[in-house]
Structures are given as structure tokens and as C-alpha cells.
Amino acid sequence: MVSFAASSSKHPRFDIIIGLDVAGKLFYCRKSTLLGDGTSYFAARFGPDSMMDPQRDHIADNGREIYFIDRNPEVFKYVLEYLRTLQLPPEIGTFQENPNLWRALRVEAEFYCLGGLISLLKATYSCSPETDGGKGVLHWLGTKKGKDAYENPYHSGAVDVTGWFDSFDALGEVDPGWGSYEKKTLLVEYRPMPRPQLRSSDIFMPGEGNVIFPCLAGYHSNQRLPVVVDMRGNVVSPSHYSLRYGACRGLDGNWNFEGSTDGEHWVLLHAGTNDGHKLSLQRITERQRAIELSWINNTLIRINGPENNWRSAYCDYMERHYRHTWEINNSSEQYFRYFRIIGADPVDGEARSLHFIGLEIYGHVYER
């Protein structure tokens, strides 16, 4: 596309009122209005530096030049309103309110090469770990995009968990129970869910109490078995991701957090190591010895009662202190449909494990 000079576009001789005949519906505006969004279709056709013939259709009775555009006139009125303000017209509402209009407007924005409008129409939902209380994209999908009470997004079908122990032939001697429905549900559950048989005595053993929250991926790290989350009809440009301690030895190994647009070609978003995070067995053990045993015994159970609300309070505590969040290097702001966590250790027979649950992803969502 041909660039144009903003100063010359508003010259009195140039900035005339013209008519645009969009598939039979006439719109009037100043030429400068059409040139407000960079090197667009309009700049190439009507800009002062353009070398192309704007292909005037006719001159109206009022003496104004009329130019024909063979596009959707019902959507063009929103395109023109955007060009006047360089903001989304309030009449289009949100994507959830008018998904078909948003989709149609995206098509027109692409046709007219309106980079600013394309950008405004991309993100339909945004969240961050700092401002949303730890609730990210997966929690939002679990609420049917803010419309209903939370339900696990895998259980409701909002996301899928695939590529993880789906082929039991590849497991060898690994217990197929690792790939059960329960484990896939726990992967995207936003807060800890205690087993019904949880007893207060179960959490008094340092480093052992969290086994009551089932492991997600034993044997994962040294066998490089991927955990894949499919966002289905949504794509996400991630800024952070978060995991919670699952059980046993926690994240005792190296892993990669990766994104993909097609489920086949993967982009490394973060290389995780077994150093410097909250989800190691050593850190969990030290914390339990120093703080949790006396807190659980003297405060939690004594106040709430052994058979009452202490389980829920303990889950809240785990969500606060047994979770770690990592920032993602996504400088290109690329959007992905698939995300996976895959072991990055060599297959050398050395005992390593990645035990985690409660995946959450933060960033910008593009709903298709």
C-alpha cells in the first residue's frame, strides 16, 4: 500500500466531501476522514500520494464526486464511524452480545487494511494475575464467559485436554489411571478440590499431606509425555501461566510451556526448571514444618471444627501458597489455540516427575 502525508491530506484544496456508493447505499464524508488509519485501502485509493486511479463513478447532482465500493453497506457504516473516531463504535457492543457483527466487521477491516480496527477487534477478553484475583482465561471459560456460575471447563466441554496419555499403548508399565478423566479435570480446575475421605490427620505429615490432591503427571518428565489443552473456538495471546503443586515431589524436573496454532507446530513460550519456584517438594516440606502444622492444628481445625469447614479453608490456603506464576515472553503477541506442557529432561532413566494441577493462563482472548 502507498503511504500518505497526514499534513497534505487536510489541505483545503484536497479535503473535499465525497460520496461513497457502497453497494447502492450512499455515504458522505471528507477525504481526510478516510485517511486516518495508516496505509489502508482508502489511502491507496484516495490519498494525495496515491499513484492509482480512484475510479470515480459519477458526479452527483450536488456536484460531489461519487465512488463505488462493492462491499456490505450495513457493516460499512461501522467502518466509517471507526474512521471518524479511531475507536470501536459503541453500537457494536461486545463480542458476546453481537458475535456475528464482530465477525463481519473483522472481515471488512481485513479487506480495507485497517490495522487499527483489526487490532481493536482482536481481544474480546483480557485478564492478568495481578488484577483478576488469580482467575484467568480457563476460569472465565468455566463461567461461560462470565455468564454463569463456575463449572470446570473440561467437564463442560469449553476446552479439551488431549495428547496426554490418550494412547495407552505408549505407556508401557505406567498405570493407565494417570490418564483418567479425573486427572484431566484437575488440570484445569481453578482451585484445589479435596477428596471426600480427606481427614485432618492426612495433612500432618510434612511433604505427604498434598498427596490427597491427586498427582497429574507422574512419569511425565522423563518420558516427555505432553499435556495439551485445546481452547476450541478461542485463541489466546498469553502473558503469564500458572500451576499449583499437585502432590508428591511437585515440579521436580524441567519442562517447556508451548503454544501452537494447529496442534502440530509448537512455539516455546517458557522454559521451566526445577529451581526458583514454589512447587518443589523441598519448599513444601520446609513450609509445612515451619508454619502449617501449628497453623492447621491450633487455628484451622480448632476454629472450624474437624468435621466442618476446615477442608475449604485448607484449599484456599493451598491456592494462595502452593501456586506459582511465570511470565511468558510473547513479544510478537501471537495467538494460540493449543497449549502444552512437556518434559524437557533427557530420557536417561533418572527418576524425575512433574506433578501439577490447576493450570491457568492469562492474557488476551480472540473469540472466533
The pLDDT tens digits for 237-247 are 999 999 987 66
Cβ partners under 8 Å of residue 22, min gap 6: 69, 71, 72, 73, 76
The pLDDT tens digits for 212-245 are 334 444 444 445 557 789 999 999 999 999 998 7
Cβ partners under 8 Å of residue 243, min gap 6: 251, 279, 323, 324, 356, 357, 358, 359
What is the distance between the terminal CA atoms of the chain, rounded to a whole angstrom?
A: 27
pLDDT band at 287 (very low <50, low <70, confident <90, very high): low
Cell numbers representing residue 180 in the block: 483418567
Question: Is residue 205 pLDDT above 80, yes or no?
Answer: no
Question: Is residue 211 pLDDT above 70, yes or no?
Answer: no
The answer to whether 261 and 351 are in contact (CB under 8 A) is no
* CATH 3.30.710.10 placement within the chain: 6-120
Compare 214 and 181 and report the one with higher pLDDT: 181
Q: What percentage of residues in the chain have a pLDDT greater than 90?
A: 47
Instruction: State mean pLDDT over 142-151.
Output: 94
Task: Give the pLDDT score at 207.
Answer: 34
Instruction: State mean pLDDT over 12-36.
Output: 90
CB atoms within 10 A of CB 269: 20
Question: Is residue 128 pLDDT above 90, yes or no?
Answer: yes
Compute the 3-state secondary structure of the chain and give helix, strand, coil in percent, each to the nearest 5.
Answer: 35, 25, 40
Instruction: State mean pLDDT over 19-40.
Output: 94
Compare 260 and 291 and report the one with higher pLDDT: 260
Which single residue is written with the C-alpha cell 498405570?
175
Instruction: State mean pLDDT over 347-365.
Output: 79
Cβ partners under 8 Å of residue 180, min gap 6: none
Q: Please check whether the domain covering 6-120 is classified as CATH 3.30.710.10.
A: yes
Instruction: State mean pLDDT over 46-50.
Output: 86
The pLDDT tens digits for 84-93 are 999 999 999 9
**By mean pLDDT, which of 141-150, 153-162, 186-195 is the weakest?**
186-195
| 83-122: burial string, b at 16+ Cβ within 10 Å, e else | beeeebeeebeebeeeeebbebbbebbeebbbebbeeebb
**22 membership: H or E segment, kind and range:** strand 17-22
**By mean pLDDT, which of 34-48, 124-138, 333-347 is the weakest?**
333-347
The strand pair at 234-245 and 323-327 is best described as antiparallel
Closest CA to 333 of 223, 259, 278: 259
